[in-house]
C-alpha cells in the first residue's frame, strides 16, 4: 500500500495494490475510486484533501488479532 500527497494540487492518493485500473468511479465530485478488471478496489483519490483529511497526521499501525478465549 502506498499513500501519496501532492501538495501542488492538494490531492491524496491511496493505492492499495499495484494492478491495472480498468474502471474509475466518481463517488462524488472530489472522490475517485479505481477498480481492476475483477471489480476490486485498486486506489482512492481525494481532491481538496487538506480540507477533507488530516494529511499531515497520517499514521500506520498494524494491530494483532485478539486471541479468542473460551
* Maximum C-alpha span of the chain: 53
Asked if 13 and 45 count as a contact pair (C-beta separation under 8 A), the reply is yes
Closest by Cα among 5, 39, 15 to 25:
39
CA pair distance 31, 48, nearest whole angstrom? 9
Average pLDDT rounded to a whole number, residues 24-42: 97
CA pair distance 59, 70, nearest whole angstrom? 34
* Consecutive H or E run containing 65: none
| Residue 24 confidence class, pLDDT cut points 50, 70, 90 | very high
- Does the pLDDT at position 54 exceed 80? yes
| Residue 56 confidence class, pLDDT cut points 50, 70, 90 | confident
- Does the pLDDT at position 40 exceed 70? yes
Average pLDDT rounded to a whole number, residues 14-33: 96
- Does the pLDDT at position 68 exceed 70? no
Amino acid at each position: 500500500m502506498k499513500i501519496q500527497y501532492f501538495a501542488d494540487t492538494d490531492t491524496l492518493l491511496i493505492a492499495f495494490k499495484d494492478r491495472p485500473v480498468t474502471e474509475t468511479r466518481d463517488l462524488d465530485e472530489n472522490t475517485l475510486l479505481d477498480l481492476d478488471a475483477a471489480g476490486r478496489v485498486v486506489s482512492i483519490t481525494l481532491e481538496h484533501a487538506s480540507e477533507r483529511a488530516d494529511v499531515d497526521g497520517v499514521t500506520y499501525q498494524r494491530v494483532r488479532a485478539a486471541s479468542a478465549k473460551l
